[in-house]
Amino acid sequence: MADGDFKSYCLNPTKPKFTPPPGAVDAHCHVFGPAAKFPFAPERKYTPYDAGKEALFKLRDFLGFSRNVIVQASCHGTDNSATIDALVNSGGKARGIAVVKPTVELAEFNDMDAAGMRGVRFNFLPRLVDATPPEVHLGVAKKIAPLGWHVVVYFEAPSREKITPFLKSLPTIVVLDHMSLPDAKKGVDHPDFQAYIRLLDENRNLWVKVTGPERISAQGRPYDDFVPFAKALVERFPDRVLWGTDWPHPNMTTHMPDDGVLTDMIPRIAPTAAQQRALLVDNPARLYWER
Ligand code: 0GY
């Protein structure tokens, strides 16, 4: 397959050697369509291949996970139907993160909550969405706070300073996607990543997903340069980290990751059984199932 010419996710992942502990959660994945049933949003910035709930649940079982957190992706805009359909057909084994219009009323949030949604996502990547003013996002965050929901924020490392006042203004737990895409070439000791660690140190409502080796690594497989970043965060913030596959891996340009290989990276970033249990079981359970 030519670089960037991806017609699907990895169809034959490797069986991982690592066995996730009972109750382990893949806390960052998506469903796409199928487009015939759940059309993609007209305002989308990319059109993915179909990647429906059946394939996601099969992957969950194959990799040895118990549950999923399904994050609404930008290609579906603010129509959460595909994600909700996956949640309500998961037998309680999935929770979700929605993307909503700022005008959403409480009744709609209550319906989404009943379906398994537990938060909203604010996306700041220009390649994925048109910009929304932070004060509009803040209005949504204030609406969802009383539900016990949280906020997921996707931004890139160069935006850290600009976005910090917004992050500090949020009244909920805030989960940062993909470690906010650090520059792997700079390394963990660079002032940029050290400032990121300080941000988490100083704001105890911030959590972080130690996900995205296929996006963050500058070296590519086996993603060795990703490991020190994720490991540093797991060590320092053991009770505020989450892990996920990011299946079905939209917008990959260099290669399509093997989800079994990604799963086998877990012991490299969380070497002890206690770290693995916190990362994969206790932290996501607290945030998504025990509210
Ligand atoms: C991810 C990453 C991406 C896409 C989206 O909402 C999205 O479309 O999140 C990406 O291209 O970085 O989290 O899966």
* pLDDT tens per residue across span 130-184: 999 999 999 999 999 999 999 999 999 999 999 999 999 999 999 999 999 999 9
Alpha-carbon Rg for the chain, nearest whole angstrom, is 18
> Rounded CA gap, 215 and 204, in Å?
26
Atom of ligand 1 nearest to the CA of 121: 6
Q: 237: CA distance to ligand 1 center in Å?
A: 24
Q: What is the pTM of this model?
A: 0.97
Pick from 100, 125, 179, 242 the residue to mutate for probing ligand 1's pocket: most ligand atoms within 8 Å of its CB: 125
Kindly state whether residue 268 falls inside one of the protein's structural domains. Answer: yes
DSSP class of residue 285 equals I
Kindly state whether residue 159 falls inside one of the protein's structural domains. Answer: yes
Contact 98, 76 (CB under 8 A): no
Kindly state whether residue 124 falls inside one of the protein's structural domains. Answer: yes
Contact 146, 187 (CB under 8 A): no
Q: Which residues line ligand 1 (CB under 6 A)?
A: 30, 73-75, 123, 128, 177, 215, 246, 250-251
Distance of CA 250 to the CA centre of its chain: 12
Give residue-wise pLDDT tens across range 48-73.
Answer: 999 999 999 999 999 999 999 999 99
Contact 142, 174 (CB under 8 A): no
Atom of ligand 1 nearest to the CA of 73: 6
Strand partners, 123: 154
Q: 74: CA distance to ligand 1 center in Å?
A: 7
| 180 burial level (CB within 10 Å; 0-12, 13-18, 19+) | buried
DSSP class of residue 178 equals G
129, pLDDT greater than 70: yes
- Residue with CA at minimum distance from ligand 1 atom 9: 73
Kindly state whether residue 1 falls inside one of the protein's structural domains. Answer: no
Kindly state whether residue 181 falls inside one of the protein's structural domains. Answer: yes
Exactly one of 246, 258, 259, 264 is catalytic; name it: 246
Kindly state whether residue 7 falls inside one of the protein's structural domains. Answer: no
Atom of ligand 1 nearest to the CA of 128: 8
Model confidence at 27, pLDDT cuts 50, 70, 90, reads: very high
Q: What is the CATH number of the domain that holds 110?
A: 3.20.20.140
Instruction: Please state the domain count of the chain.
Output: 1
Above pLDDT 70, what percent of the chain? 98
- Residue with CA at minimum distance from ligand 1 atom 3: 250
Q: 250: CA distance to ligand 1 center in Å?
A: 6
Atom of ligand 1 nearest to the CA of 181: 12
Q: 220: CA distance to ligand 1 center in Å?
A: 18
The answer to whether residue 50 is catalytic is no
**pLDDT of the residue at 291:** 75
**pLDDT of the residue at 6:** 87
**pLDDT of the residue at 118:** 98
Kindly state whether residue 11 falls inside one of the protein's structural domains. Answer: no
DSSP class of residue 18 equals S
**pLDDT of the residue at 4:** 53
The domain in which residue 80 lies consists of 25-289
Kindly state whether residue 6 falls inside one of the protein's structural domains. Answer: no
> Rounded CA gap, 176 and 156, in Å?
10
Neighbouring residues of 163: CB distance < 8 A, sequence distance ≥ 6: 124, 134, 153, 155
